[in-house]
Amino acid sequence: AIQPSFHFLNVLKPYFDTNQLLDQEIYPNTSAEIKTMFSWSSSTGKYPGGRNRTSSQTNNVALHSNATAQGGGFSRSDHINSFIEDPTLKPSTRRVSSDDSTYDTVFQTKSNNALILRVHLAPSPPGHPCRAPAMTLVGIRASHPWIDNKMRVIGYTLISSDASWNASGMKLGQSVNAVVQHFQLNPPNVIEITDAGLKNIQNKMSPPTHQEINVAAQTVAAATPPHPNLNQVLNEDKAKAKRKMEALNFPVVPSNFPELDQMSRDDMDSLISDESKFAEFVSNMPVVSEMNSLRDSIVDEAIQSAKSNFSKNEELLLLNTEVRLLHEKVLGQVMEFKKLDEEKSKLCMPPNIKQVLMELKTKKKSAFNESEEIAASWVDNGDINIIDFTKQFLEKRTVYHMRAAKIERLTVAR
């Protein structure tokens, strides 16, 4: 077991350097991704999880890299490098096997528990696809839908079989990130911490202070883009539609019509009097044909846009329901937080000296009466020996004098 020194920074992806934290120095990271990781201590030779540190560095993956074994287009060394060089995972990941097959990553959940995820990527025969990684929570006994009774991760379907893993197209670093984030946001119910090093980590952890939470909230607010104004969106849509209309290649309105110049007055009268004949004549004119063709293309585009929008209707309804439920959940949690914060404020307030003095005087009188009753009972009845009487009487009398001394000190302090 190890003793990695660290201090809880905030809930917004802090990284911990143990050499700095030995001096209680804090260096916040302003990334808004919810990741709380730890750095391993460099001052000790062991790590939590029951395995000793190996002498070589974590980026030495040449022992069993199997560069020719392809899985989803990636070699085994690609998978391992994506894991140990991941900017989020790297500070808290160390190799715990003599070869390059097994690594431990320490992280913290939103329930303020420290966990160790052990990742094992077994070598595969030359020319064969990469094996699916095996992931296990070590050093604890816990319950969670994603883990079995041996603490193996079984709920992440991409690593359930070699075929699923190779078909996923994901690298090992992405998968470990996904599993870590799931356990951070959905912590397991830790029944027992069995590893001494992990227990030491847990004992040293402290909850975030109000100042740290406020800094984290301000960081998230600064990193989150503001919601667009509805009127602004509508104006932008109108301007976009106007630009699109201006870009349309409308046909030029002709200044003369050669078809009519060749017709006699009687033919024109006949054409005007027959609506169907007139409509046919107009529709055959080149400028009208061109306009009809442009109209049809615009209608087809509008139909396609409508179908595309309608296809997202169900997804939008589901998202709307999810947002509404999350909103209600957040409101409930905010109300609960306010209630607990009020209770905490009351508990942390200094006691009212007058009320304390009144209670002490009442309790002092009660202790005096109890001691007098013991003395009177012994004098009148003599039913206990002198040793038992002395013991009982002095216990009550000592309480009486302690309360009297406290009253005197509080009175002088006022």
* Digit-coded pLDDT (tens) for 41-69: 444 444 455 554 443 333 433 334 443 44
Q: Report pLDDT digits (tens) over 135-193.
A: 999 999 999 999 998 899 999 998 988 888 888 888 999 999 999 999 999 999 887 88
Asked whether 54 and 98 are in contact (CB, 8 A), the reply is yes
Q: Is 130 exposed, middle or buried (0-12, 13-18, 19+ CB in 10 A)?
A: buried
Q: How far apart are CA 173 and CA 122, in angstroms?
A: 15
Torsion angle defined by CA atoms of residues 187, 191, 194 and 200, in that order, rounded to the nearest 10 degrees: 60
Distance CA 183, CA 344 (A): 29
Pairing of strands 140-143, 189-193: antiparallel
Q: How far is CA 17 from CA 5, 24, 25, 113, 408, in A?
A: 9, 10, 9, 19, 51
Question: What pLDDT is attached to residue 384?
Answer: 81
Tokens of 172: 């090992």
Would you say 259 and 280 are in contact if contact means Cβ atoms under 8 Å apart? Answer: no
Q: How far apart are CA 113 and CA 89, in angstroms?
A: 17
User: Which H/E stretch holds residue 103?
Assistant: strand 102-108
d(CA 178, CA 187): 13
How much is the pTM?
Answer: 0.41
The residue to which tokens 């990284």 are assigned: 15
CB 154 within 8 A of CB 137: no
| Chunked mean pLDDT (size 10), the chain, 414 residues | 34 34 32 47 48 41 40 79 91 89 91 90 84 92 91 91 87 93 90 82 64 64 66 82 76 76 83 85 82 86 89 89 91 92 86 88 93 89 85 93 92 80
> How many angstroms separate the CA atoms of 7 and 17, rounded?
10
pLDDT of residue 125: 82
pLDDT at 257: 76
List 120's β-bridge partners, or say none.
102, 134
Length of the chain in terms of residues written: 414
Cα atoms found within 13 Å of the Cα of residue 355, Cβ hemisphere only: 3
DSSP per-residue letters across 92-146: GEEE-SSSSSEEEEEEE-TTS-EEEEEEE-----TTSPPPPPEEEEESEEEE-TT
Amino acid present at 230? L
Count of other CB atoms within 10 angstroms of residue 82: 19
- In the block, residue with structure tokens 């293309």: 297
